[in-house]
Amino acid sequence: MSEQAPVVIVGTGLSGYSLAREFRKQDKETPVIMVTADDGVSYSKPMLSTGFTKGKDADGLAQASTESMAEQLGVQLKTYSTVTGIDHAAHELILGDERLAYSKLVLAWGADVIRLSIEGDGQDRVFSINDLMDYRAFRQALEGGRRVAIMGAGLIGCEFANDLRNGDYEVDVIAPSDVVMPGLLPEPAANAVQKELENLGVRFHLETVVDRIDHHGEGVRLALASGETVDADLVISAVGLRPRIELARQAGLDVGRGIQVNRALETSVPDVYALGDCAEVDGHVLLYVLPLMACARALAKTLKGERTEVRYGTMPVMIKTPCCPTAVCPPPDDADGDWEVESDGTSVRALFKNASGEILGFAVTGQFAIEKQSLAKEVPPLHG
Ligand code: FAD
């Protein structure tokens, strides 16, 4: 490794670009190379599920070109370059036949969508949307179509359902759970969101799964385990994400549900760090924006030479279902307590309290959603 080897950041999603931006606030000189498998266009991923509501297509959601990001951040960008390995003993990143030396390496390479293996010849109509390029392909394929089936009733499935209805598409949502957003929202809040989505015209098929997807007429027919069929022009698969850990595991880094790092974002290997959707930070896998921003700020200082640990505050998640504004701050997995629920129609205030009455988490919908800021102040931070 030469003394001049650059800091190398893999990934130009919100994690990679936020880190580069924070690092440049600390250090304008050290060479930085950013490597990405995609086109490097800067965009805000949460906005992908608001395209129709905001009247924006993929180009409208793009925030800055690769060239302007390279110039703004003073970095070299290698686009359409897929990392295939890490040789940490040599301090080199492997990109197929090429090797790239690093002084410090940051893995910000995100999470993979989970793909279900479903019978039938209609797979070419199934889209997963996890980046701007996916979204562009989906919007192009949707031209001329009016009916979308969504597999999955999690946050992403529900947000796309609301957005597509705002674009006047017919929407069917199919999921094995008996409520929407299981594991994220307490049941009364989930029921409120489902009710308002139904009022908007979304059709739910819960407690069942898609058995087959076959071409049918101009579109596809989905055969559900319940015996029902759903006809659609396109299918969105929104059944979950899995942190990308495989290359890290092969390189000998410790991995669990994500690439394991401590609060200084250090992996088990010297000079290799991770943040964002690929990382398991101090035992937490949090596939959201606020945690990655906190990590980017801490890691920028560490890369500059001032080792800094991330401190997670209270990080509520805003769910972009405008038909039923919703915010949630889930209680820690191991928290002891009970939900206290107050509701007025589809406006729900659910507070998770421990035996001493302390609020450890909350979910608010409808007219109570405006209380999210004040409630967030009452919930203890994740890192106290
Ligand atoms: P990504 O954005 O996935 O970036 C990964 C980067 O790594 C990409 O540039 C990719 O090309 C590159 N890469 C991957 N593998 C390789 C390789 N082998 N070699 C080279 N490059 C590679 N969070 C919220 O907090 N609030 C919300 O409202 C919200 N809404 C969302 C709505 C949708 C539709 C989705 C999909 C997510 C939403 N999220 C939301 C989650 C949030 O957007 C993500 O947590 C965040 O964007 C992850 O950023 P990242 O940079 O870690 O990963």
H/E run at residue 252: none
Backbone phi, psi, residue 141, to 5°: -65, -25
Backbone phi, psi, residue 26, to 5°: -95, -35
| Ligand 1 and 78: CB distance under 6 A | no
From ligand 1's centre to the CA of 135, what distance in Å? 13
Could you give the CA distance from residue 28 to residue 26 in angstroms, rounded to a whole number?
7
286 Cβ contact partners less than 8 Å away, ≥ 6 residues apart: 312, 315
Strands 111-113 and 241-243: antiparallel
Q: Which atom of ligand 1 is nearest to the CA of 81?
A: 20
Q: If you take atom 6 of ligand 1, which residue's CA is the nearest one?
A: 11
Could you give the CA distance from residue 367 to residue 369 in angstroms, rounded to a whole number?
5
Question: Which pLDDT belongs to residue 2?
Answer: 46
Q: Which atom of ligand 1 is nearest to the CA of 45?
A: 43
pLDDT tens across the length of the chain (384 residues): 445 799 999 999 999 999 999 999 999 999 999 999 999 999 999 999 999 999 999 999 999 999 999 999 999 999 999 999 999 999 999 999 999 999 999 999 999 999 999 999 999 999 999 999 999 999 999 999 999 999 999 999 999 999 999 999 999 999 999 999 999 999 999 999 999 999 999 999 999 999 999 999 999 999 999 999 999 999 999 999 999 999 999 999 999 999 999 999 999 999 999 999 999 999 999 999 999 999 999 999 999 999 999 999 999 999 999 999 999 999 988 899 999 999 999 999 999 999 999 999 999 999 999 999 999 999 999 886
Give, in order, the Cα–Cα distances in Å from 11 to each of 8, 14, 23, 272. Answer: 10, 9, 15, 14
Q: Which atom of ligand 1 is nearest to the CA of 319?
A: 28
From ligand 1's centre to the CA of 303, what distance in Å? 22
From ligand 1's centre to the CA of 171, what distance in Å? 25
| Ligand 1 and 132: CB distance under 6 A | no
From ligand 1's centre to the CA of 358, what distance in Å? 33
**Which position has the token pair 């390029």?**
133
Could you give the CA distance from residue 175 to residue 152 in angstroms, rounded to a whole number?
5
C-alpha of 279 from chain center = 12
From ligand 1's centre to the CA of 287, what distance in Å? 8
| Ligand 1 and 83: CB distance under 6 A | yes
| Ligand 1 and 128: CB distance under 6 A | no
Residue pair 198/103 in contact by the 8 Å Cβ criterion? no
Hey, what amino acid is at 39?
D
Q: What is the ipTM of this complex?
A: 0.99
Could you give the CA distance from residue 109 to residue 273 in angstroms, rounded to a whole number?
11
The total number of residues shown for the chain amounts to 384
Q: If you take atom 53 of ligand 1, which residue's CA is the nearest one?
A: 110
| Ligand 1 and 14: CB distance under 6 A | yes
| Ligand 1 and 48: CB distance under 6 A | yes
Return the best residue to mutate from 289, 292, 318, 328 for the ligand 1 pocket (most ligand atoms within 8 A of CB). 289
